[in-house]
Chains A and B, each alone.
Chain A
Amino acid sequence: MADVREDQVPIGGVGDDYNYATFRGQEDFAGLARAHHVGERAPDATLTRLDDGDEVRLSDLWRDGHVILEFGSFT
């Protein structure tokens, strides 16, 4: 799970609607604009490595060097 500060509100689909079954143009540019800005510290999060199933902290990755993170799925 991501570490959420009190002043951070998850955006881009709330609750059960995050994994929507029907595409209706849920892309939310305004949400991206409200998200963290350059110059700020990124939120930490626990992610799962696909290769071995182990969990890894985002902060453990950026401790070792710069991180380029591309988000995506099949489309």
Chain B
Amino acid sequence: MDELAEENGARGFQSFFLYVREAHPGELLPHHTSFAQKLAHARTFRDEQHVRRPILVDGLDGPLHRLLGAMPNMTWILLRGGTIAYKAAWTATADVRRAVNEIAGIPELRRQGGRLAPIWTERLGYRVVDQAAFMRGLERNGPKAVAEFADFMRQTRLDQLDE
């Protein structure tokens, strides 16, 4: 997503990473109990993950995150003026790139004289999951994060067997 940000800065897109609650709190990165702690986690994240985009931090109780669905790794695109153009439950860079290219192409379509009308779409997209990186992230957070995710997956499989 950093590369996408750098590719599209000159096309009028500003990119930000919004730091929200810890999705998988552990011994080393526990749940937030103060805003100072949330800021500290965000700094550690920026430095360890070498994030190049500007990082914004939501309030301690996640006011914006909760209004927009509270999924752990969403991406939203807001047009100049604040209209929502794209929202995705999970961040898939290729999918975001497609949306950005479509938005960036609107001025050219207007120059060509076409009459543009908005449409509303809903579709199921897919992303490639880097499970190894996700597991490394859980381990970074601590053994508790690893164990809780394993318990959740085990329970999910049991629930599916009951269906």
Total interface residues in chain A, CB < 8 Å: 60
Q: A50: which of B1, B56, B63, B87 is its contact (CB, 8 Å)? A: B56
Smallest Cβ-Cβ distance to A12: which chain B residue: B70
* 0 or 1 for each of B34-71: is its CB under 8 Å from A? (1 = yes): 01000101110110000001111111111111111111
CB interface residues, A 15-47, toward B, < 8 Å:
18-29, 31-47
Write out, one digit per residue, whether chain B residues 125-141 have a CB within 8 A of any chain A CB (1) or not (0): 00000000010011011
Contacts of A26 in B (CB 8 A): 70
CB distance from B70 to the nearest CB of A (A): 2
Establish whether residues A73 and B145, one from each chain, have CB atoms under 8 Å apart when the complex forms: no
- Contact partner of B54 (CB less than 8 A), chosen from A11, A34, A49, is A49
- Give the size category of B's interface with A: 35 or more
Main secondary structure of the interface of A (DSSP, over half): loop
A61 to chain B minimum Cβ distance, whole angstroms, is: 6
A49 to B, closest residue via Cβ: B56
The complex places the Cα of A18 from the Cα of B152 at a distance, in Å, of 18
Structural contact, B71 and A75, CB atoms closer than 8 A: no
With a CB–CB cut-off of 8 A, which chain A residues contact B57?
Answer: 47-50
Closest 5 CB pairs of A and B: A12-B70, A32-B69, A2-B63, A10-B66, A35-B69
Extra pairs beyond A13-B21, A25-B156, A70-B1 (4, CB < 8 Å): A2-B59, A4-B67, A12-B70, A41-B84
